[in-house]
Chains A and B, each alone.
Chain A
Amino acid sequence: MTSIFDQNGRSVACTVVHAQPNVVTQVKTVDSDGYDAIQLAYGEAKVKNTPQSMQGHFEKAKTAPKRKLVEFRDYDLSKNLGDLVSMDEIFAEGEKCSAIGTSKGKGFQGVVKRHKFEGVGQATHGQHNRLRAPGSIGASSYPSKVVKGMRMAGRMGGERVKIKNLRVQKLLPDQNLILIKGAIPGHNGSFIIIEK
């Protein structure tokens, strides 16, 4: 992340996203697949690391092997196999967008961090070892079990997260950069999906 100054002179915190043009690797239609979708590919992959079945798939679109494939359903793009989709065709400055990524892994976390429990309120008045504890997880002989979905400590982060209502602050088409206002999920250098 970095910050830029907008035309009013205000500092705006932005995430810099490197968005090189994506290749259309497959066009799905209602007739052939039962639904409309477009499959885009991004990033460069080595041929030796690409399975032969995928090599054939990329050959159909007449493109080099790519690292990531993402399907977008019901997007009206009217593109053909092998066409390039660049970011300035889709986004304009000031528009809303959403970003999908894999959040940073947090490891095994307690309920206070993981589920925003508040712990036990007091540190004094005889309280001991309870400051970040979850408290009761249910009644006793009835129902004699813990209800499914009870929020407890465990692995946190490292999952697919979508952030909506982000704003495209600035586009730099020469460098293939998108500046999105605010933070987006994932660590530096990770792959993300930006959609309108």
Chain B
Amino acid sequence: MDLIKLVHQQLNTQPTFPEFRSGDSIVVSYKIVEGVKERIQDFKGDVIQIKGSGAGKTFTVRKMSNGVGVERIFPFFSPHIVEVKVLKRGKVRRARLYYLRDLVGKKAKIKEKRTFN
């Protein structure tokens, strides 16, 4: 009887978004609460790491915004995530793409994984 797992399954909203891996290009739509107003904002970028397990699992999305690298960490089970869309599957050789931080321009581009179905 794993009580911690039980609590996690009962109290945290289980995500409905599609599975993605590091290297994939995704759009995260998340709720922003400003006082009483609520709006939805999109964050589009590459997943550079998926970290942790259970209730503390997070993923990091990196994008270039006006020449400045911006990274955002999202908890997997956050009720504020409305939707996640996978745009491209990336072809990468490691799970944590920290090397992208040192690269700019064309070198920081992740090759797309081609699948035939």
A194 in the interface, Cβ–Cβ < 8 Å? Answer: no
CB–CB B55/A2 < 8 A? yes
CB–CB B56/A5 < 8 A? no
Flag A1-45 by CB within 8 Å of B: 1 or 0 each: 111110011010010101000000000000000000000000000
CB–CB A5/B10 < 8 A? no
Flag A59-93 by CB within 8 Å of B: 1 or 0 each: 00000000000000000000000000000000000
Number of A interface residues at 8 Å Cβ cutoff, please give it: 16
Minimum CB–CB distance for B75 against chain A, Å: 6
Closest to A170 in B: B11
What residues of chain A lie closer than 8 Å to B7, measured between beta carbons? 2, 4, 14, 16, 172, 177, 179
CB–CB A11/B3 < 8 A? no
CB–CB A4/B33 < 8 A? no
B20 in the interface, Cβ–Cβ < 8 Å? Answer: no
**A-binding residues in B (CB < 8 A):** 3-4, 6-8, 10-13, 31, 33, 54-56, 75, 77-80
Q: Which 8 A-B residue pairings sit nearest by Cβ, starting from the closest?
A: A9-B80, A4-B11, A2-B4, A3-B55, A2-B55, A9-B79, A16-B3, A16-B7
